[in-house]
Amino acid sequence: MGFTPRGFLGDKPAKAPPLFPFLLTFLLVGSRGDSNAMDNVSTERLAEESHRQDSANLLIFITLLTLTILTIWLFKHRRFRFLHETGLAMIYGVLVGVILRFGVHVPQNMSDVILGCAVNNSPATLLVNVSGRFYEYTLKGEVGRGKGHQVQDDEMLRKVTFDPEVFFNILLPPIIFHAGYSLKRRHFFRNIGSILAYAFVGTVISCFVIGLIMYGFVSFMKAVGQLGGDFFFTDCLFFGAIVSATDPVTVLAIFNELKVDVDLYALLFGESVLNDAVAIVLSSSIVAYQPAGDNSHSFEAMAMLKSFGVFLGVFSGSFALGVATGFMTFTKLRDFPLLETALFFLMSWSTFLLAEACGFTGVVAVLFCGITQAHYTFNNLSPDSQDRTKQLFELLNFLAENFIFSYMGLTLFSFQSHVFNPLFIFGAFLAVFLGRAANIYPLSFLLNLGRKNKIGSKFQHVMMFAGLRGAMTFALSIRDTATYARQMMFSTTLLIVFFTVWICGGGTTPMLSFMITVFFFRVGVDSDQDSPQNSAVLDGSQRRDTKHESAWPFRIWYNFDHNYLKPLLTHSGPPLTATLPTCCGPLARCLTSPQAYENEGRLFDDDSDSILNDATVSSMYADVTVSTDASGRTVNRSSGTRGLSDDCVDHDLALAEHEVAIRGTRLVLPVDDPVDAPRV
Amino acid sequence: MGFTPRGFLGDKPAKAPPLFPFLLTFLLVGSRGDSNAMDNVSTERLAEESHRQDSANLLIFITLLTLTILTIWLFKHRRFRFLHETGLAMIYGVLVGVILRFGVHVPQNMSDVILGCAVNNSPATLLVNVSGRFYEYTLKGEVGRGKGHQVQDDEMLRKVTFDPEVFFNILLPPIIFHAGYSLKRRHFFRNIGSILAYAFVGTVISCFVIGLIMYGFVSFMKAVGQLGGDFFFTDCLFFGAIVSATDPVTVLAIFNELKVDVDLYALLFGESVLNDAVAIVLSSSIVAYQPAGDNSHSFEAMAMLKSFGVFLGVFSGSFALGVATGFMTFTKLRDFPLLETALFFLMSWSTFLLAEACGFTGVVAVLFCGITQAHYTFNNLSPDSQDRTKQLFELLNFLAENFIFSYMGLTLFSFQSHVFNPLFIFGAFLAVFLGRAANIYPLSFLLNLGRKNKIGSKFQHVMMFAGLRGAMTFALSIRDTATYARQMMFSTTLLIVFFTVWICGGGTTPMLSFMITVFFFRVGVDSDQDSPQNSAVLDGSQRRDTKHESAWPFRIWYNFDHNYLKPLLTHSGPPLTATLPTCCGPLARCLTSPQAYENEGRLFDDDSDSILNDATVSSMYADVTVSTDASGRTVNRSSGTRGLSDDCVDHDLALAEHEVAIRGTRLVLPVDDPVDAPRV
């Protein structure tokens, strides 16, 4: 669209002798055009030719996606489940990459003019004065070179290479928004403490453990002369940050098949969603930490502190912005689903753009915008729009994700500057494994001290396995491939993604299903304690303890959210007139939506799991019967009219959601037929 | 995305002295960067700054769209209907344009390096060698100049200018596809003869009439010295082609309110959809006609013939390609709506890309792909996917259309090289009016000679009025604004679009509603003849004659389509085993989908109007009650078991659609409760 590339963070061209920047001498290096080809009509024809070529290249990707979809369908139809769809997309990408690399050779287009210029930077925009007319050229990116500093002349390979910013600005936002929008919010908020611990502390631990191990390896490689270029400690940390981002979507697909405790599932999914946000901000903080002027790359307390400040600032800024726009999307356009859906889509996109324009991280803002919109805005949408928005983002997510994974496969062969170093790769795999272990096990131990619903040791092993690296890791590593260090990182990251998606993503599902079948063990439920007060089970299925770690901050938040935010921002919940003190009567009447009164007597299952698109998952693996009972199904019939006691919040939030407050007296209504029974 | 601009068709730089193309001398004209700003970190910062600026610019458009949506909602809510939504989008665009033009002045970014180069063309791609690294720059477009050949230094205005190809490659395809996909096919195919006459003959007449009138005006202007540059006869014809494209969507919105005969409505809608395709191919043929080497621009029989050949070749190629991919989307993925929707979307997009890659016109291919998919593929989709695809394209269409119209408003002030010539503008308005008249009235007269359901004179006046110019005209005119002639065309076209959308689009609805109320006349129904055999009306509403011009070619096509194509390509229709001769038994069994047998006893209302998204329209103007009876509702109960007689086809196609063929004996079943009653 109107985007110019963001430029290459950390782009460090070899030092050139400083010249007068006012006098650049451009030399034509290798134009093969002759004077006939230079004339107007030929230019038109060449431009048209180039356009056709572009269309053909995009067609390659569309064909790849189509093939992937057809194969996924075949797999589902025949009930093969040994490979996840993203793995499939990768395989097709690799095949096309091999063909393009070794099969097709399109020589460079004649319309390209190669200019030599001895300056020490490349401007983002060139204005070229051609016979009195000014033409604007935008920087597309660095062109890969073959051996011996020759320009790579394979037009095809150069053309199928996308601007890395496409991933950040076009493909990642829908994926991340979808992850936020489809988060199982009830269970997410119930486990918010553990999730934040894993996401923040865990990711930072993982980043530093990986960074330190890699620094050890790199130092060793330098000592034995295996290193072909600079590799600083900050590069190691950067590598640690980018490979610490785990992929939520594969987790979703795999864990849906495991009859895993919903809380633990929410824990894992929430962690993998949030750690993407942490990793992206962490990596940009590390880039900001890199000393600007000199190349010392030594440890500096001040820079470290500044970097930490950047991290906090960017993260909280993005968070605040996402939540704020999520709040703002207070739509009253219920009568016009098309307008409503369009508005919803535009607000989500503008969150991204606003964050980018303010210098925050758009992807992080979009994540929190998605979570907020799922929590508040979703309730205001008409049922038609609820379906539409879910389906729209599901489709966008599906397309973007498969595109990224097939592109990933393609780059394995089409990328020009791969640096595969066996020692580095070995070190990276080891570091990733140890980093994940240093994240999961100690944190789980510490969290178990405080949690009532313990994280079982088997579940911890599963969390180890589920640390797939996906789209975010790829997008972060391809963003900058200018230096030797970054190229080596990119190549290694590709291998890590391939390995985790193919082995863990493809392997764990049947393996764990097998384990379930053979040992009859239910992952993570080994710490079950059925407490007496929770035994009022209405359906015949097993009821597990959902006692969780929610402490007083959570309870305060819940009360505040339920009594004030929900009524203010949505048409559901108790009217503000009932929850605010009587002295605020007029204000409350003014702020309460008229529909809130209408909904007053209605059981508005506004926080049900309906937002999680179970339909997708069940349609994906329609043959697997999911028999999990969620706590949302159970209702304490014995509770008549009573206050919103701590016990109630603590015991079952789902129950509290169904409370309808009428004139200050809270009445817990039994839910006989939940609108949307959670399935996982 | 990966697109490089297609280049500027007919881009004619002023003649420069031919230089050695091997030695280009680039001179830095006005870089304001100093040596500090040239260093690496500064470049990064500037690139980031530029990215922020881009985000902010996109945000302007998103805000515009959001404002438009909110105002549309307000209008609908308050039931104002004096202005169409596209008109609103334009007004907001104009306001922002005024603010950007006169309110904000952002000086040029320091990162831009201005290079002077004395060559006579601008290559599509520049490879710049910066200290041994090669950077690729792509041509973004010509930069507008202020007076006296100075580069326009308002960064803001330059940045909000989109690459014209964005309109062609990203925004137009969903609009045109939606138009094709939502075409009322039954009525469309019934009136195919008249529609093709209006679309092909009419558009060519309109193009040449406008071209000739404009040539007269331009010659006069040249004589009185009012012309500031070259303006050839081919330019006049080109202008005629681009302003001959009428906008289908405004027609849809307006005519839904008029209780107009469905056939006449289909006529008008079909014409406005198809003439877009004709206009686009016509304009590119005219560009191809322009003599390449010399600048004589005189009439040449050979070039004319070649141009006609190009027209036929490109049109039929695009048509064949669109229909072929429409056929190919023979999806059996009914169990997985997400996969199905994704596949449907990708196939439609790949049609566009394939056509562009083959040198055909993607937009035309997408139109016929949409029509074919609505006719065949739609029946194969699961109900869920039918909803999803309709809603998806509806949303894309809505966003793209409003974006184009608000951008249109913006360009009125942000475009740098406007040439407003009062005489030319007056001539253009006159020519457009006369061109439309020369299209509608004579053709209607000729068609009425053959039509049984005559096109009434009042309806002809309405067709005159309904010739709004919209997105296609704009996209065609902004595509190339390099020469003086094209700039004048663009400015004039903008005014024509504004006038027709604001006056005709905003004005006709209330005006015609008023006429309906006052004179109780039903547009276009003044030639009603109730024939005795059609009097079996089940519901109380009036029944109109639907005798139409469908002659033997249509009947043959219908039989072929119903008996062979539908069973082959969809799961509906009679099984091939029943329609093919017995000698082809094994082949028929092999080609028939198993579901066709299942559907055999079912009334598959596969060609109902459900594809036309009445929901949109009715939600748009929910206050207008549409009471039209369509012929599809009526059923001839007296017809028991009989063959598919000519009378049946001729009398009521809708009836024939409900026929179920069982073992060679055709049985006309009465339809008591049509699945989807047509509403318009």
Which of B129, B158, B342 lies closest to A69 in CB terms? Answer: B342
| Residue A382 sits at the chain B interface (C-beta within 8 Å) | no
Chain A residues whose beta carbon lies within 8 Å of the beta carbon of residue B399 = 342, 345-346
Across the interface, whether the CB atoms of B399 and A335 are under 8 A apart is answered no
Question: Which of A126, A386, A484, A613 is most worth mutating to test chain B (most B CB atoms within 10 A of its CB)?
Answer: A126
Task: Kindly list the distances between the CA atom of residue A481 and the CA atoms of A14, A133, A217, A455, A599, in Å, as whole numbers in the listed order.
Answer: 14, 35, 21, 40, 55
Interface of A with B in 588-627 (CB under 8 A): 616, 619-620, 622
| Residue B120 sits at the chain A interface (C-beta within 8 Å) | yes
Across the interface, whether the CB atoms of B134 and A125 are under 8 A apart is answered no
Return d(Cα A536, Cα B299) in angstroms, integer.
Answer: 91
Within B257-382, residue ranges assigned H as helices are 262-289, 301-328, 337-357, 362-372, 378-380
Across the interface, whether the CB atoms of B136 and A138 are under 8 A apart is answered no
Interface of A with B in 37-66 (CB under 8 A): 38-41, 43-44, 46-48, 50-59, 62-63, 65-66
| Residue B36 sits at the chain A interface (C-beta within 8 Å) | no
Residues 6+ apart with CB under 8 A from B171: B400, B403, B404, B471, B475
Q: What pLDDT is recorded for position B53?
A: 78
Task: Kindly list the distances between the CA atom of residue A420 and the CA atoms of A92, A426, B248, B477, in Å, as whole numbers in the listed order.
Answer: 22, 11, 56, 51
Which of A39, A50, A356 lies closest to B51 in CB terms? Answer: A356
Question: Which of A23, A32, A36, A54 is most worth mutating to test chain B (most B CB atoms within 10 A of its CB)?
Answer: A54
In chain B, whose CA is at the least distance from the CA of A166?
B1
Interface of B with A in 296-335 (CB under 8 A): 333, 335
Which of A65, A77, A293 lies closest to B346 in CB terms? Answer: A65
Beta-carbon neighbour count of residue A620 at 10 Å? 20
| Strand order, beta sheet including B133-142 | A26-28, A112-117, B125-130, B133-142, A133-142, A125-130, B112-117, B26-28
Return d(Cα A627, Cα B573) in angstroms, integer.
Answer: 40
Determine which helix (DSSP H) or strand (DSSP E) holds A136, and give its type and residue range.
strand A133-142
Q: Which residue's structure tokens are 């940045």?
A: B159
CA angle A143, A145, A148 (to 5 degrees): 150
| Residue A295 sits at the chain B interface (C-beta within 8 Å) | no
Interface of A with B in 393-452 (CB under 8 A): 394-395, 398-399
Global pTM reads 0.72
Beta-carbon neighbour count of residue B384 at 10 Å? 18
Task: Kindly list the distances between the CA atom of residue A277 and the CA atoms of A236, A323, B216, in Å, as whole numbers in the listed order.
Answer: 19, 14, 64
> Which residue type, as a one-letter code, is found at position A499?
F
Residues of chain A with pLDDT under 50: 1-39, 109-114, 116-120, 144-152, 292-295, 519-549, 600-680
Task: Kindly list the distances between the CA atom of residue A286 and the CA atoms of A116, A279, A469, B643, in Å, as whole numbers in the listed order.
Answer: 33, 10, 20, 79
Chain B residues whose beta carbon lies within 8 Å of the beta carbon of residue A41 = 292-293
Distance from CA of B48 to the nearest CA of A (A): 6
Distance from CA of A406 to the nearest CA of B (A): 15
Determine which helix (DSSP H) or strand (DSSP E) holds A28, and give its type and residue range.
strand A26-28
Across the interface, whether the CB atoms of B135 and A143 are under 8 A apart is answered yes
Per residue in A303-355, pLDDT (tens digit) is 777 777 877 888 888 888 888 777 776 556 667 788 888 888 888 888 888 88
Which of A137, A353, A358 lies closest to B139 in CB terms? Answer: A137
| Residue A74 sits at the chain B interface (C-beta within 8 Å) | no
Q: Is B602 left (phi over 0), alpha (psi -120 to 50) or beta?
A: beta
Distance from CA of A121 to the nearest CA of B (A): 7
Per residue in A130-157, pLDDT (tens digit) is 555 566 666 655 554 444 344 445 566 6
Residues of chain B with pLDDT under 50: 1-39, 108-114, 116-120, 144-152, 292-295, 519-549, 600-680
The tally of CA atoms less than 13 A away on the side-chain side of residue A280 is: 27
Q: Are A392 and A202 in contact (CB under 8 A)?
A: no
| Residue B134 sits at the chain A interface (C-beta within 8 Å) | yes
Chain A residues whose beta carbon lies within 8 Å of the beta carbon of residue B22 = 28, 31
Q: What is the DSSP annotation of B602-643?
A: S---TTSGGGS-HHHHHHHTTTSPP-PPPGGG---TT--B--
State residue B43 phi and psi, 5-degree precision. -60, -45
Give buried/exposed letters for A42-69 (b at 16+ CB in 10 A, else e). Answer: bbbebbbbbbbbbbbbbbbbbbbbbbbb
Return d(Cα B270, Cα B267) in angstroms, integer.
Answer: 5
Return d(Cα A467, Cα A247) in angstroms, integer.
Answer: 7
Across the interface, whether the CB atoms of A140 and B135 are under 8 A apart is answered yes
Maximum separation of any 2 CA atoms in chain A, in Å: 92
Q: What pLDDT is recorded for position A630?
A: 36
Beta-carbon neighbour count of residue B464 at 10 Å? 15
| Residue A71 sits at the chain B interface (C-beta within 8 Å) | no
| Residue A14 sits at the chain B interface (C-beta within 8 Å) | yes
Return d(Cα A353, Cα A168) in angstroms, integer.
Answer: 12
Beta-carbon neighbour count of residue A552 at 10 Å? 8
Return d(Cα B239, Cα B219) in angstroms, integer.
Answer: 15
What tokens appear for B450 in the block? 């053959």
Q: What pLDDT is recorded for position A105?
A: 59
> How many contacts does A have with B, using Cβ atoms within 8 A?
432
Distance from CA of B603 to the nearest CA of A (A): 27
Beta-carbon neighbour count of residue A445 at 10 Å? 12
Burial class (CB in 10 A: 0-12, 13-18, 19+), B586: exposed
Interface of A with B in 499-558 (CB under 8 A): none
Return d(Cα A467, Cα A500) in angstroms, integer.
Answer: 8
Which of A46, A69, A124 lies closest to B124 in CB terms? Answer: A46
Q: What pLDDT is recorded for position B518?
A: 53
Chain B residues whose beta carbon lies within 8 Å of the beta carbon of residue A380 = none
Give the three-state DSSP class for B667. Answer: strand
Return d(Cα A348, Cα A174) in angstroms, integer.
Answer: 9
Give the three-state DSSP class for B587. Answer: helix
Question: Which of A43, A111, A125, A332 is most worth mutating to test chain B (most B CB atoms within 10 A of its CB)?
Answer: A125
> Which residue type, as a one-letter code, is found at position B622?
A
Q: What pLDDT is recorded for position B280?
A: 86
Across the interface, whether the CB atoms of B40 and A120 are under 8 A apart is answered yes
**Distance in angstroms between the alpha carbons of the first and the last residue of chain B:** 40
Across the interface, whether the CB atoms of A143 and B136 are under 8 A apart is answered yes
Q: What pLDDT is recorded for position A574?
A: 64
Which of B7, B130, B388 lies closest to A122 in CB terms? Answer: B130
Chain A residues whose beta carbon lies within 8 Å of the beta carbon of residue B14 = 131-133
Q: What pLDDT is recorded for position A572?
A: 62
Chain A residues whose beta carbon lies within 8 Å of the beta carbon of residue B121 = 38-40, 43, 130
In chain B, whose CA is at the least distance from the CA of A291?
B41
Helix and strand numbers (H, E) in chain A are 29, 6
